[in-house]
Structure 1
Amino acid sequence: MQKHHTLFSCPICKEDMDVQDDGHIICNQNHSFDIAKQGYVNFMIKPAPSMYSKELFESRQTVINSGLYDPIQSAIADQIENETYTILDTGCGEGSHLDRICTHLEKNPLAIGIDISKEGIQAAAKFYENKIWCVGDLANSPFKKESFDIILNILSPANYEEFRRILKPNSKVIKVVPQSNYLKEIREQAFANSEKESYSNDQTVERFKEHFKNVQQQRITYQMPLSEELLPKLLEMTPLGWHLDHEISLKEITIDLDILIGENH
């Protein structure tokens, strides 16, 4: 963080920040944040309640590291040029997607993850020490304008105005959104014969196209076998599994996602 302190601005007053040897991060107006002993920074001005538990992020890490999303991560890495220097993963959770995407890259960019959930960022800092992890709110982010070459937004809410502010000119946003058959086996058993059994991402895609130029849309669909041990962890990490009132049994799962790639104006 000392080496890259020029990326950061105070979320309170927007002044420049200095990273000191003792782990204090102080702006010109003396607003102060600390690097926690676990290796992350909490830039939240006020605490935000999170519906995501430590156990959810542990399940999410297990599922992602099982290889379930490997084709998605590889496709995202293919969109990141070798000269990319700074990557920000927004809504990064426990950091597994960002870490695995970076393993596909020839060069090692500066990778930063931000999430409003302290539990997620604590897990990210624990498992992936070679990146910068921040607890923060995109509505009041701790980054200067035109700081990033790539913003990732994987199955997470977005703040397009903030994305455009902190992206360099002509840089990219890569957003992953569900397609109609994503986790369809869970949806069919959990919401049979209800409107939730079907899903369309048309509104999300159109909104993305309103904010970025030269938008590409790449659909990736495949089925993966699902072990008996992995199913409960998958159900814990996805909202689809939170409302089940009965046990379900699955032997495979469908991954069906759109990767949206847009350029900043």
Structure 2
Amino acid sequence: MEAEYRCPICHEGLTRKEGTLVCRNRHAFNIARQGYVNLSRKQKQAGDNREMVQARTRFLEKGYYGFLREALADMTAGARTLADIGCGQGWYTRKLQGQLKYGFDLSKEAIRHAAATDKETNYAVAGIYDLPLADASLDMVTSIFTPLPEEEMRRVIQPGGTLIQVMPGPDHLLELKELAYPQAYRNPDKVRHLDGFEEPECIHVKKTVPVSDVWDLFEMTPYRYRTSSEGLRRVREAKPMDITFDFVIVRHQRKEND
């Protein structure tokens, strides 16, 4: 289905004219040869760089998180208009259900990769706090390990629609943290009620599996930038080890009358 974007500058609708999206105020955005469009107002490079995208891709394509992706695919069945915010390189996005699907991320490198490998989704470089979509235009949004722009979620999700949020469970990557830090910690419970939504429903999925490429896993986490040089050395030299993948999937339903 054809994407229905709004202009990030004036918020008017965008119309496709050959290889460009144009609004009534003549703001124009070129469609890249991979099929994505850059609708970000940021001029500087943001988000994951090429090395980070490659490390994450190498790890994800080995299927360690496949059980999470399958659970999300089942939960999105029946969606009409779905947006995956902070979608990265689209590894989850391309398996999600939806008659009209969007993927948004600020990383141009990640979006370029996503658009080249998934032709069923409309990808755009865009910030999740200023989505280039009309009010109440979505019946489902997925937010997988991304900050949650609550006000924007209330704007774009139609009454009765669904927000699916994925966050680390208490034991997620515990063995990796034990390797990197003098004292490992369990993740706190961050599930909470969102204004404008019903009480959240939670599903807990957890699996411990042998991981051969420990460094690639570490590079796709925020721990990579919070670890001492000694901790980095231990992770880089780590042999294959069992690691726990622990996730909380939270379903928030938009109130019908809000």
TM-score (structure 2 length as normaliser):
0.89
Which residue pairs with 1:188 in the alignment?
178
Which residue pairs with 1:172 in the alignment?
162
* SS of residue in 1 equivalent to 2:114: helix
Which residue pairs with 1:226 in the alignment?
211
Deviations 1:122-153, CA, capped at 9 Å, x for gaps: 11112222211100012222101111121010
Query: Partner amino acid for 1:217?
Result: C
Q: Structure 1 residues 180 and 48 mapped into 2: Cα distance closer, same or farther (>3 Å)?
A: farther
Deviations 1:158-187, CA, capped at 9 Å, x for gaps: 211111211121110000001111011111
Which residue pairs with 1:162 in the alignment?
152
Which residue pairs with 2:82 in the alignment?
87
Deviations 1:58-109, CA, capped at 9 Å, x for gaps: 2212222211111111222222243x2121100000000111334xxxxx62
Which residue pairs with 2:232 in the alignment?
245
Which residue pairs with 2:2 in the alignment?
4
Deviations 1:11-63, CA, capped at 9 Å, x for gaps: 1111121111x211111111111101222100012324435211211221222
Equivalent residues, number: 248
Q: Structure 1 residues 75 and 41 mapped into 2: Cα distance closer, same or farther (>3 Å)?
A: same
Shift of 1:189: 1.3
Which residue pairs with 1:258 in the alignment?
248
Which residue pairs with 2:101 in the alignment?
111
Say whether the 8 Å CA contact 1:23–1:34 is kept in structure 2: yes
Note the residue ranges of structure 2 that are not aligned, 5 or more in a row. none
Which of residues 27, 32, 36 is equivalent to 2:32? 36
Q: Give the Cα–Cα distance (whole angstroms) in 1 for the partners of residues 182 and 92 of structure 2.
A: 30
Say whether the 8 Å CA contact 2:94–2:118 is kept in structure 1: yes
Matched, 1:99 2:89: no
* SS of residue in 2 equivalent to 1:37: coil
Which residue pairs with 1:124 in the alignment?
114
Matched, 1:135 2:155: no
Query: Partner amino acid for 2:55?
Result: S
TM-score (structure 1 length as normaliser):
0.87
* SS of residue in 1 equivalent to 2:200: strand
Say whether the 8 Å CA contact 1:181–1:255 is kept in structure 2: yes
Which residue pairs with 1:18 in the alignment?
15
Which of residues 203, 215, 218 is equivalent to 1:235? 218
RMSD over aligned Cα atoms: 1.8
Percent same amino acid at aligned positions? Answer: 29
Query: Partner amino acid for 1:205?
Result: V
Moved over 4 A (4+): none
Note the residue ranges of structure 1 that are not aligned, 5 or more in a row. 103-107
Q: Give the Cα–Cα distance (whole angstroms) in 2 for the partners of residues 61 and 133 of structure 1.
A: 17
Say whether the 8 Å CA contact 2:179–2:234 is kept in structure 1: no
Q: Give the Cα–Cα distance (whole angstroms) in 1 for the partners of residues 194 and 132 of structure 2.
A: 26
Shift of 1:218: 0.9
